[in-house]
């Protein structure tokens, strides 16, 4: 592996790798993640924890694991947390960033090693692990498009070593410093549920190589329960249970369609959510109106954190 050396205990090291973790009031989950990072076959040079929350135990967990800790006095969401963490890591000399939400963790000790191998071989601007449900190891945590349909099947996905042009961010994502140089950092105006898609679209539009390594596995709470099949699985509607996350998702989707000129997707969302709210839910007019209002707030670029 390029730039890697072997420590006395057999663990490979690379002085330019920083793990950047965005945390928010989940000390037990943070401890699980930091322990898994420490157990990797490739050692990271530094772990940086950006704390968006108010639980003092998060700082204690970070200190116990010798992580660099930075608490934000305001909750900037995932977007702001990763933007700040990436800038601090880059300012500290990081050449490669390994990005994590605190509720995910690498499944095996070779996760980072496999991701770095793919990045070296392909020149990837974004290299991501396959995200598998925390509670159901045979199911993906998020849907992946395969053969024109969305699937949650781990077995089907792992039949392919790489999923080109496809990645779910930022749970275990590896990006070189040059990715930030070329494509920027997450847009803090999106707060949550969309910042990662905007970042992905920017990289793809700029010609950056994006891949998911299916043999590099990370675990994450499943989003399958909020992903609803329509038209026999040809399309899906995502509907989070939490009202704030739902509003952010709808608003940010509207913005992303305008920002990246994906007008066909905006039209498809009108079909998707009409079917979901009016047909599938028989009918949920209040839900449909809320979706329409938030979507067009996003199209109008009325962004920022929730009230």
| Residues 69 and 175 grouped into a single domain | yes
Backbone phi and psi for residue 161, each to the nearest 5 degrees, phi listed first: -65, -35
Domain edge (last residue) among 158, 187, 222:
222
| Residues 153 and 199 grouped into a single domain | yes
Helix (H) or strand (E) holding 126: strand 126-133
| Residues 238 and 106 grouped into a single domain | no
| Radius of gyration over every alpha carbon of the chain, rounded to an integer in angstroms | 19
307: in domain: no
Contact between 144 and 150 under an 8 Å Cβ cutoff? The reply is yes
| Residues 193 and 56 grouped into a single domain | yes
Domain edge (last residue) among 193, 222, 251:
222
The DSSP-derived string for 69-109 is EEE-SS--HHHHHHHHHHHHHHHTT-SEEEEEETT-EESST
> What is the per-residue pLDDT across 101-153, written as a single tens digit (0 to 9) for each?
999 999 999 999 999 999 999 999 999 999 999 999 999 999 999 988 889 99
| Residues 131 and 158 grouped into a single domain | yes
27: in domain: yes
197: in domain: yes
Query: CATH number, domain at 15?
Result: 3.90.550.60
Contact between 199 and 99 under an 8 Å Cβ cutoff? The reply is no
In this prediction, residues 3-26 reach a mean pLDDT of 71
Domain that residue 142 falls in: 5-222
Q: What is the pLDDT of residue 48?
A: 98
CA distance 210 to 126: 5
- Percent of the chain's residues with pLDDT above 70: 95
Strand partners, 211: 127, 164
| Residues 210 and 139 grouped into a single domain | yes
Number of DSSP helices (H) and strands (E) in the chain, helices first = 10, 16
Q: Please tell me the total count of domains within the chain.
A: 2
Q: What is the pLDDT of residue 8?
A: 43
| Residues 22 and 145 grouped into a single domain | yes
> What is the per-residue pLDDT across 184-208, written as a single tens digit (0 to 9) for each?
999 999 999 999 999 999 999 999 9
Among 138, 276, 272, 258, which Cα is nearest to 198's? Answer: 258
Question: What angle do the packed helices 285-299 and 243-259 form, to 10 degrees?
Answer: 40
| Residues 133 and 29 grouped into a single domain | yes
259: in domain: yes
The DSSP-derived string for 26-50 is -HHHHHHHHHHHHT-SEE-SEEEEE
């Amino acid at each position: 592996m390029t730039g890697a050396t072997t420590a006395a205990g057999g663990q490979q090291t690379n002085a330019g790798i920083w793990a950047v973790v965005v945390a928010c009031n989940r000390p037990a989950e943070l401890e699980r993640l930091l322990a898994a990072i420490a157990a990797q076959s490739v050692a990271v040079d530094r772990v940086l924890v950006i704390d968006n929350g108010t639980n003092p135990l998060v700082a204690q967990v970070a200190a116990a694991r010798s992580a660099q800790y930075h608490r934000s006095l305001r909750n900037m969401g995932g977007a702001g947390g990763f933007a700040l963490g990436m800038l601090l890591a880059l300012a500290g000399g990081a050449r490669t960033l390994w990005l994590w939400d605190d509720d995910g963790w690498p499944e095996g000790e070779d996760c980072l090693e496999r991701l770095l191998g793919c990045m070296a071989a392909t020149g990837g601007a974004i290299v991501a692990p396959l995200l598998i449900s925390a509670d159901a190891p045979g199911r993906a945590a998020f849907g992946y498009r395969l053969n024109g349909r969305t699937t949650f099947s781990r077995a089907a996905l792992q039949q392919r070593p790489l999923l080109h042009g496809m990645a779910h961010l930022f749970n275990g994502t590896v990006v070189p410093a040059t990715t930030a140089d070329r494509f920027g950092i997450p847009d803090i105006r999106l707060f949550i549920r969309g910042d990662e898609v905007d970042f992905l679209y920017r990289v793809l539009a700029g010609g950056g190589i994006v891949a998911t390594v299916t043999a590099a596995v990370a675990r994450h709470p499943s989003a399958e329960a909020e992903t609803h099949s329509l038209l026999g699985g040809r399309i899906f509607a995502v509907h989070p249970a939490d009202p704030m996350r739902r509003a952010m998702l709808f608003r940010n989707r509207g913005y992303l369609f305008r920002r990246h000129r994906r007008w066909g997707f905006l039209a498809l969302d009108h079909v998707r959510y009409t079917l979901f709210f009016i047909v599938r839910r028989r009918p949920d007019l209040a839900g449909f109106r809320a979706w329409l209002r938030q979507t067009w707030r996003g199209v109008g670029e009325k962004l920022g954190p929730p009230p």
